[in-house]
């Protein structure tokens, strides 16, 4: 570049347009210096390398930016470039402006600058940064050195081959291993060092890898240069080009001689182990370091029926009894975790399905270097030993049981007659305590002096190995003389010699007496036989005895009168007294007694006598004996009882006031509807609520209210058709069920007829009444397919109808759920009320009709809502049962009632109602027990009241709970008696302490004949069974007179008092005024034998209505 032309202007150098930008864009630094070595131009890369701006560098020299020594060297190069035109290419290491060390390759050339007629020589330096290249070269050299060291030091021999499989390179250790030079292995020369037997296999696998490109992995033997061979393993993989073709093979040869020999030795050892293990009569097993089974011996597989694959891993656990598996697995896992020996016993399922007891012992295995290898163990069948142990335990238990339970005195003595052991019967015989010394009851100390020699003679005989039996007299613990039969036998040792004496003392006092009394007994029996005829004559039963041919042998006088015969009937055929056909109950039962020789009892009607008989027939040695009892009157009473039961059953399904079906009847009607074919047809449900009824009832009293309800019921009957059901649910709520509805307009028309009919004026014994009605309508299946759904839907519609005023009807629509939201809100608030103490208890007294004093106070919960005021239990108790709050609510009521009742006088009890849902809590019995303990209330003062539904739902469990509560001393009462199906049946199932008759049975007294009959029947049941009887809802003096006359024990109702707070109850009891009843003729023995009047007086401020 001596003649390079540069466009020149003033210093610093200036270039043509665009040339300077091009130079700045070049990434390599470019520096131009003049003859004085001053910088005349530097591109951007050069400025960045030095770390200074171009304007700062123009005019400076190398001495301004480099160390002096380096600047001198560069100044000398520049001089030679300018003077000789020589080019320089050199490398230098500098520290750049950013502090990093850089390797720079610099090229220097001379350039001539012409400006007019003058010429100027310049030095142009072009710099290339070779730092990365030098670093890579350094790392490559280090890598090559590292690889070389690895190759020379590594015990494996590396080798490479071309794509055709010819070896190109072999590591230097090839000679050390084989004795051949590495070059001898090039191409296919490696085969010369190989054991001839392995060569074919190696060549076949190598050719296959070369052909497919798949990795090589082959084992073979190589000569060791000393006439021997060693095992080696060669692995190789191909290196491929981008197109996938093999460019070279890289491989390693590894010495595996020790491993191969160890493996062969291990195989031989395992073969010997398996041969020994499979021939051993025990179950041998091996597990790896993870606890998984790798071997189970032949005995295991034959015992369990498993195949080897099933027992591998953890499959062997499947053969262990389910009850033992968890413990066995836990023991094994714990030992595995600690790597300690394991020992466990379990039952192993045999191939036939039976179980064998096995003791399993395992030992951990460790390698020579201490590494954990797993476990080896052995399982022994100990079934016979376990059975023997069990038999021994059972035998010992049996011997101990016989020893302690036998009524005879058993004593174990030493050979000198000293007692060593005596059973319970012996201690009781002699009145000994557990701590009494047996030395005090030596034989010779207990017998009369005359029998001491007899005892010594017995000892002598037994010491010679002979068994003796004697009778002797002793004094028992009461001092009474007893006669004993004593058998004494030797207990032999291991060599047959007597080592102990066993004596059995049997009390024969009674036997001796029996022998003495035998003759007297025989004579007594003869006299007794003579008297038997007199006894049969005096018995209340009629007695007939016949022989096997049905001939009469004996009749007592009562049988003669009953059967209307005399003594001449003896010898006649029995069937002449019973003119019945062969299929009658008399004939069937009599022949059954004779043929089966078994007794029988039956009741039957004898038409010829027109009497009901209870017959007891029993076989005799010579025929049959018959005992008759006339039960005609009892049978008649039973029929009357059944009639009363049917009446109770009827009233349980019908409203006592209106005679209409009640809620239970309606529910059954729904069940029949949805079970039958009518379930597929449309059904209408009308929910009715009377408007103005409460005002009439409050103004004129319950009798007028009841008369109004009966009038409403009659009008409803006239409105409906024959297939419709009209039911009263309670209060002023009615429901009408109509099936087979073709058009919804039918229900609308019916609703309008009801509104018109019930809206007409009522004449009620001189009282003019005017009420209305609202109707909610629901249809099945549109609004529901179950009774609860339909009634609920109709009630929701009724709720809407109430908002519109009297005389309206509304059909249910899905959106009518506002009241449901309100109920949901009430559920939330009820939970809060229980937590915030918004509840309190009131008490309604039950009065003892014999004393006129308070006997019991029934606890009734009240809710004082902070915003809504008093909320009726009718509204929130069902919610509590729906949500499950009834359990904590019931516990709260129980605890509060007991805590308050303990303040009352001892003679006053407290009654608490339990919901059927509370019986589902397993804590109920413990809650009652803990409450009594915490409150200090005597259990006899607590009465638990339940309804029939408690026994309907999970009756077995609930009966057990009631019995457990009864065992605490608590009284149990059946509430609302007579309103269910099986009230009488439950009196037989559970012995109630009290039955409370529902208020519905006394509302129409004294005029209601059916109610009076039921009341009378219940009172009679109570007297017969010894159960306290009580009546709820007594509101008039007339009702009180009737129930007292029928013999009821207690009464409750507004006639006596409304529910009172705890403070008022205590006040009423203390002043002895509340519910005091003075009875006229109170000493009458039978309350029904005359009319009875009662006078009721109330404390001030506690009058009834």
Same domain, 807 and 855: no
- Would you call 227 exposed, middle or buried from its count of C-beta atoms within 10 A (0-12, 13-18, 19+)? exposed
Is 645 within a domain?
A: no
Domain with residue 328: its CATH number is 3.30.450.20
Same domain, 230 and 271: no
Residue whose tokens read 């014994």: 765
CB atoms within 10 A of CB 1028: 20
Is 142 within a domain?
A: no
Give the tens place of pLDDT for each residue, 234-287.
Answer: 999 999 988 889 999 999 999 888 888 777 776 676 667 666 666 677 888 898
The answer to whether the beta carbons of residues 38 and 61 sit under 8 Å apart is yes
DSSP H/E element including 773? strand 772-780
pLDDT for res 277: 63
Same domain, 899 and 1007: yes
**At what angle are helices 1009-1025 and 1037-1045 packed, to 10 degrees?**
40
Residue whose tokens read 């060669």: 234
Is 160 within a domain?
A: yes
The residue out of 816, 841, 860 marking a domain boundary is: 816
pLDDT for res 438: 77
**What's the rounded Cα separation, in Å, for the pair 465 and 958?**
65
The answer to whether the beta carbons of residues 216 and 204 sit under 8 Å apart is no
pTM: 0.34
Same domain, 374 and 306: yes
Give the chain's domain count: 8
Domain with residue 836: its CATH number is 3.20.20.450
Contacts of 814 (CB under 8 A, 6+ apart): none
Count CA atoms within 13 Å of residue 521 on its CB side: 6
Same domain, 355 and 443: no
Same domain, 534 and 583: no
Contacts of 59 (CB under 8 A, 6+ apart): 11, 12, 38, 39
Q: Of the candidates 244, 253, 1013, 959, which has an alpha carbon nearest to the alpha carbon of residue 642?
A: 1013
Is 400 within a domain?
A: no
**What's the rounded Cα separation, in Å, for the pair 263 and 256?**
10
Is 393 within a domain?
A: no
Is 430 within a domain?
A: yes
Same domain, 598 and 729: no
pLDDT for res 306: 85
Task: Please list the ranges in the chain whose pLDDT falls under 50.
Answer: 1-10, 529, 677, 981-982, 1072-1075, 1077-1105
Q: 3-class SS at 952? A: helix
The residue out of 203, 234, 255 marking a domain boundary is: 255
- Would you call 803 exposed, middle or buried from its count of C-beta atoms within 10 A (0-12, 13-18, 19+)? exposed
pLDDT for res 528: 56
Same domain, 844 and 791: no
Give the tens place of pLDDT for each residue, 670-687.
Answer: 888 887 645 567 899 999
Same domain, 833 and 797: no
The answer to whether the beta carbons of residues 1084 and 1047 sit under 8 Å apart is no
Domain with 529, as residue range(s), is 509-538
pLDDT for res 144: 59
pLDDT for res 1105: 28
Using alpha carbons only, give the angle 668, 672, 673 rounded to the nearest 5 degrees: 115
**What's the rounded Cα separation, in Å, for the pair 801 and 823?**
18
pLDDT for res 931: 96
pLDDT for res 871: 87
Task: Please state whether beta strands 809-811 and 994-997 pair in parallel, antiparallel, or not at all (unpaired).
Answer: unpaired
Peptide bond into 1006 cis (omega under 30): yes
pLDDT for res 112: 83
Which parts of 613-722 fold into alpha helices (H)? 632-652, 663-675, 693-700, 702-719
Strand partners, 293: 287, 313
Is 396 within a domain?
A: no
Instruction: Extract the tokens encoding 376.
Output: 């080896």
Same domain, 724 and 856: no
The answer to whether the beta carbons of residues 1053 and 1096 sit under 8 Å apart is no
pLDDT for res 148: 59
Same domain, 248 and 289: no
Q: Of the candidates 445, 473, 468, 471, which has an alpha carbon nearest to the alpha carbon of residue 457?
A: 468
The residue out of 352, 387, 422 marking a domain boundary is: 387
Is 759 within a domain?
A: yes
Same domain, 362 and 415: no
pLDDT for res 904: 93
Q: Of the candidates 109, 105, 108, 107, which has an alpha carbon nearest to the alpha carbon of residue 128?
A: 105
**What's the rounded Cα separation, in Å, for the pair 723 and 715?**
16
Strand partners, 239: 248
Domain with residue 761: its CATH number is 3.30.70.270
């Amino acid at each position: 570049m001596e003649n390079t032309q540069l466009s020149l202007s003033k210093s610093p150098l200036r270039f043509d347009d665009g040339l300077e930008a091009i130079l700045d864009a070049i990434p390599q630094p470019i520096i131009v210096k003049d003859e004085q070595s001053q910088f005349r131009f530097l591109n951007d890369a050069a400025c960045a390398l030095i770390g200074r701006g171009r304007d700062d560098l123009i005019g400076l020299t190398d001495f301004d930016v480099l160390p002096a020594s380096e600047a001198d060297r560069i100044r000398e190069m520049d001089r030679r470039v300018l003077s000789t035109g020589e080019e320089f290419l050199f490398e230098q290491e500098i520290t750049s402006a950013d502090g990093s060390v850089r390797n720079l390759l610099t090229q220097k050339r001379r350039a001539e600058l012409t400006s007019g007629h003058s010429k100027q020589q310049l030095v142009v330096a072009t710099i290339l940064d070779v730092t990365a290249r030098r670093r890579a070269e350094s790392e490559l050299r280090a890598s090559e050195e590292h690889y070389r060291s690895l190759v020379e030091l590594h015990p494996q021999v590396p080798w490479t081959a071309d794509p055709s499989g010819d070896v190109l390179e072999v590591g230097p250790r090839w000679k050390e291993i084989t004795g051949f030079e590495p070059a001898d292995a090039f191409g296919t020369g490696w085969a010369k060092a190989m054991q001839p037997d392995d060569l074919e296999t190696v060549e076949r696998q190598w050719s296959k890898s070369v052909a497919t490109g798949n990795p090589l992995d082959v084992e073979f033997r190589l000569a060791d240069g000393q006439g021997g061979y060693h095992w080696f393993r060669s692995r190789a993989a191909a290196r491929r080009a981008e197109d996938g073709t093999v460019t070279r093979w890289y491989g390693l040869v590894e010495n595996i001689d020790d491993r191969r020999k160890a493996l062969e030795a291990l195989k031989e050892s395992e073969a010997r182990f398996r041969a020994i293990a499979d021939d051993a009569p025990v179950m041998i097993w091996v597990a790896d370091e993870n606890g998984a089974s790798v071997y189970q011996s032949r005995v295991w597989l034959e015992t369990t029926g498993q195949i080897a694959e099933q027992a591998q891993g953890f499959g062997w656990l499947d053969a262990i009894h389910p009850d033992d598996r968890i413990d066995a697995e836990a023991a094994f896992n714990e030992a595995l975790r600690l790597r300690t020996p394991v020992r466990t016993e379990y039952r192993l399922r045999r191939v036939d399905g039976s179980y064998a007891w096995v003791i399993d012992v395992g030992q951990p295995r460790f390698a020579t270097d201490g590494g954990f290898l797993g476990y080896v163990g052995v399982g022994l069948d100990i079934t016979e030993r376990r059975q023997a142990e069990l038999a021994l335990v059972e035998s010992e238990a049996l011997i101990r049981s016989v020893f302690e339970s036998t009524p005879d005195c058993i004593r174990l003595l030493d050979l000198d007659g000293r007692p060593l052991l005596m059973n319970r019967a012996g201690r009781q015989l002699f009145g000994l305590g557990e701590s009494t010394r047996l030395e005090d009851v030596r034989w010779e100390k207990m017998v009369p002096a005359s029998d001491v020699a007899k005892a010594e003679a017995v000892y002598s005989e037994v010491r010679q190995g002979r068994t003796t039996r004697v009778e002797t007299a002793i004094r028992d613990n009461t001092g009474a003389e007893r006669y004993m039969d004593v058998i004494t036998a030797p207990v032999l040792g291991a060599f047959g010699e007597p080592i102990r004496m066993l004596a059995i003392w049997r009390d024969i006092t009674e036997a001796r007496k029996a022998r003495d009394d035998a003759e007297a007994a025989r004579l007594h029996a003869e006299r007794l036989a003579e008297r038997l005829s007199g006894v049969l004559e005096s018995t209340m039963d009629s007695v007939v005895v016949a022989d096997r041919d049905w001939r009469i042998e004996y009749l007592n006088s009562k049988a003669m009168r009953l059967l209307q015969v005399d003594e001449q009937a003896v010898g006649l055929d029995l069937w002449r007294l019973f003119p019945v056909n062969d299929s009658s109950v008399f004939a069937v039962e009599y022949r059954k007694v004779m043929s089966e020789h078994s007794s029988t009892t039956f009741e039957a009607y004898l038409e010829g006598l027109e009497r009901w008989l209870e017959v007891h027939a029993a076989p005799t040695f010579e025929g049959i004996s018959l005992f008759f009892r006339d039960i005609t009157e009892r049978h008649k009473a039973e029929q009357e009882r059944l009639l009363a039961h049917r009446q109770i059953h009827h009233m349980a399904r019908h409203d006592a006031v209106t005679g209409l079906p009640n809620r239970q009847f309606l529910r059954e009607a729904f069940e029949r509807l949805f079970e039958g074919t009518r379930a597929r047809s449309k059904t209408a449900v009308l929910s009715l609520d009377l408007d103005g009824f409460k005002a009439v009832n409050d103004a004129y009293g319950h009798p007028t209210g009841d008369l109004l309800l009966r009038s409403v019921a009659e009008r409803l009957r006239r409105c409906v058709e024959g297939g419709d059901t009209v039911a009263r649910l309670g209060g002023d709520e009615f429901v009408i069920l109509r099936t087979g509805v073709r058009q919804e307009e039918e229900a609308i028309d019916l609703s309008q007829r009801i509104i018109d009919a019930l809206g007409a004026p009522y004449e009620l014994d001189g009282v003019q009444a005017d009420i209305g009605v609202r109707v909610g309508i629901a249809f099945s299946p549109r609004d529901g397919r179950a009774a609860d759904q339909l009634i609920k839907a109709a009630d929701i519609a009724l709720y809407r109808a109430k908002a519109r005023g009297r005389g309206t009807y509304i059909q249910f629509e899905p959106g009518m759920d506002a009241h449901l939201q309100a109920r949901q809100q009430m559920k939330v608030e009820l939970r809060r009320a229980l937590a915030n103490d918004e509840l309190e208890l009131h008490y309604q007294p039950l009065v003892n009709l014999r004393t006129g004093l308070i006997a019991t106070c029934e606890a009734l919960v009240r809710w004082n809502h902070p915003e809504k005021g008093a909320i009726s239990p009718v509204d929130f108790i069902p919610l509590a049962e729906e949500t499950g709050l009834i359990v904590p609510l019931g516990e709260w009521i129980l605890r509060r009632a007991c805590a308050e009742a303990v303040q009352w006088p001892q003679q006053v009890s407290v009654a608490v109602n339990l919901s059927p849902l509370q019986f589902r809590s397993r804590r109920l019995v413990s809650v009652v027990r803990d409450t009594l303990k915490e409150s200090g209330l005597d259990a006899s003062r607590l009465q638990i009241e339940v309804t029939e539904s408690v026994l309907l739902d999970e009756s077995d469990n609930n009966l057990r709970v009631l019995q457990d509560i009864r065992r605490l001393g608590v009284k149990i009462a059946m509430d609302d008696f007579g309103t269910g199906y099986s009230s009488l049946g439950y009196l037989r199932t559970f012995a109630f302490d009290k039955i409370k008759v529902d208020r519905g049975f006394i509302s129409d007294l004294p005029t209601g004949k059916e109610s009076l009959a039921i009341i009378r029947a219940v009172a009679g049941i109570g007297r017969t069974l010894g159960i306290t009887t009580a009546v709820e809802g007594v509101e008039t003096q007339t009702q009180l007179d009737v129930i007292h006359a029928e013999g009821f024990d207690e009464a409750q109702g507004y006639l006596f008092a409304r529910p009172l707070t705890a403070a008022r109850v205590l006040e009423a009891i203390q002043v002895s005024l509340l519910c005091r009843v003075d009875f006229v003729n109170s000493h009458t023995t039978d309350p029904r034998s005359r009319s009875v009047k009662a006078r009721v007086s109330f404390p001030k401020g506690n009058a009834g209505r």
